[in-house]
Amino acid sequence: MTCHREWLTNFNGEKKSKVKFAKNSTLKVEEIGDVVIVRQNGSKAVIISVLFVLEMKCNLLNIGQLVQKGFTVVVGHYDHIEVFDANKKLILRSKLSKNKTFQVNLEAVDVRCLAIVENNEESWL
């Protein structure tokens, strides 16, 4: 889940819903899209079906949903977590923080709308 709409591509605004948190509080899901992230080695990975929740204060990763999408999650020796894509490439690694959460710093690619049109008709020239 993210509040950064500029990170999303392949929007689907038709699947509106709500996300439920502790103490039964809820936030509205505005739309769903994919997020392209940059790995430390510069290559890119895609996390699909990310919820855009405008009122979120921070980004959240749902481990269960990542596993359902084909990612592998490894928690090692109670002090770190690693997430791998379906091709076993490392997506992220994080250490356990003092408040018992895994804080992850991801670099998302700002999505730009680019279109390339090719027309071989001479009349177009």
Other CB atoms within 10 A of residue 83 CB: 21
* Closest alpha carbon to 88 in 106, 73, 109, 107: 73
For the chain, give the number of residues: 125
Q: 40: Cβ–Cβ under 8 A, 6 or more apart, which residues?
A: none
Give CA–CA dist 14/29, Å, rounded: 10
pLDDT digits (tens, 9 = 90+) for 46-103: 888 899 999 988 888 888 888 998 999 998 877 888 989 888 988 888 888 888 888 8
pLDDT digits (tens, 9 = 90+) for 13-28: 777 789 888 888 999 9
Do residues 66 and 58 touch, judged by C-beta distance below 8 A?
A: no
Give CA–CA dist 82/75, Å, rounded: 6
